Amino acid sequence: MSLLKITNLNKTYPNGTQALVDVNLELSNGMFGLLGPNGAGKSSLMRTLATLQEADSGSAFLDDIDMLNNPQAVRQTLGYLPQEFGVYPRITAAQLLDHLCILKGVANKNERRELVDYLLQKVNLYEERNKSVKGFSGGMKQRVGIAQALIGNPQLIIVDEPTAGLDPGERNRFHNLLAEVGEEVIVILSTHIVDDVKELCTHMAIMNLGRIVYNGTPADALSELNGKVWRKTIERSEKEAYQSAYHVISDKMVAGRPQIHVLSEVNPGNDFEESEPDLEDVFFTHIHALQA
């Protein structure tokens, strides 16, 4: 069982943007969802943990490894799938993984071949091993990305926005693969897609404007909103008036008309119906609370 402990992590970019503001998290084996809108600071945190940029202050330890001051040790036990996983398009999946094994220090040719075969079987791409990566779908490329992240038996795997752009079938296959991987190591899933966290993660945090605004389990987050979320379908022309009169946390189109969700301790009346809270309600409630 591994432990990742992040304490008071801060990062401000030269343009003055505070990307990380006193970030504190403690994670152990399993799938951990880091949820937040674009620009929330998720990628900044992932890049810092992946030793791709330095923090201004704070600490991060993976078991006994000082992640901020011993990046080489981190890289030996880290798997990383960035948001944009670049591949060499003119080589096969097997050749790509073989090359990445060399870069990660697997020198023995026979050992590399066995490892590449194992990884391709694990991500269900063994039958495609001799095909050019250029012809792979987005989901297949992401599975190659997970395969390379598994080289070296990592204790921490960071996956940044992995399902953006995938069709529903590819997304489901990728979810199954991540769930299997997450049984043995710490996996941080950074995403703005609420369903990714709902379907995969037992623990989660919500991040906005560089801060952690919620840290706990999805179940606890939902229970906090029980009896406090109300919905109503309205006309588009009424949206502004309702936003002025109520604490609207979200709106979405249902059968061509806006359905709004409002946060209220009591029934707001005016034909609102109680709505069972979901993670989208949790997400927007915490995001709006910080922005207010």
Instruction: Give the model confidence (pLDDT) of 159-198 as tens digits.
Output: 888 777 778 888 888 888 888 888 889 999 988 888 888 8
Output the average pLDDT for the chain.
90
Residue 132: count other Cβ atoms within 10 Å of its Cβ: 16
Question: In terms of domains, do 160 and 271 share one?
Answer: no
Dmax over CA atoms of the chain, in Å, equals 72
State whether 59 and 159 are in the same domain.
yes
What pLDDT, in 10s, does the model give residues 63-111? 999 999 999 999 889 998 887 666 677 899 999 999 999 988 888 999 9
Helices (H) and strands (E) counted in the chain, each on its own, are 10, 14
Report which residue type is found at 219: A
Residue 60 and residue 7 in contact, taking contact as beta carbons nearer than 8 Å: yes
- Tally of CA atoms within 13 A in the half-sphere of 5 that contains its CB: 7
DSSP string, 51-108: TSS--SEEEEEETTEETTT-HHHHHTTEEEE-SS----TTSBHHHHHHHHHHHTT---
Q: H or E stretch including 113?
A: helix 109-122
Same domain, 269 and 208: no
Q: So what's the pLDDT on residue 141?
A: 86
Same domain, 66 and 159: yes
Residues 196 and 163 sit within 8 Å (Cβ to Cβ): yes
**pLDDT number for residue 171:** 82
- Given a contact cutoff of 8 angstroms between Cβ atoms, the answer to whether 3 and 63 are in contact is yes
Q: Would you place residue 291 in the very low, low, confident or very high pLDDT band (cuts 50, 70, 90)?
A: low
pLDDT for 214: 95
Q: Is 31 helix (H, G, I), strand (E, B) or coil?
A: strand
The length of the chain in residues reads 292
Last residue of a domain, one of 196, 217, 238: 217
Distance of CA 223 to the CA centre of its chain: 22
- Number of independent structural domains in the chain: 2
Same domain, 64 and 14: yes
For residues 269 and 159, membership in a common domain is answered with no
Encode pLDDT of 210-231 as tens digits. Answer: 999 999 999 999 999 999 999 9
Residue closest to 3 by CA, chosen among 159, 207, 155:
155
Q: In this structure, what DSSP letter does residue 47 have?
A: H
Residue 244, number of CB atoms within 10 A of its CB: 8
The domain in which residue 231 lies consists of 227-276
Looking at residue 200, its pLDDT comes to 87
Note the pTM of the prediction, 2 decimals.
0.85
What is the model's pLDDT at position 119?
Answer: 92
Look at residue 181 and tell me if it is in a domain. Answer: yes
Q: How many whole angstroms separate alpha carbon 99 and alpha carbon 26?
A: 34
**pLDDT value at 290 more than 60:** no
Q: Are residues 29 and 66 in the same domain?
A: yes
* % of the chain beyond a pLDDT of 90: 65
Q: Is residue 60 part of a domain?
A: yes
**What pLDDT, on a 0 to 100 scale, did the predictor assign at position 86?**
67
* Structure tokens belonging to residue 103: 């870069």
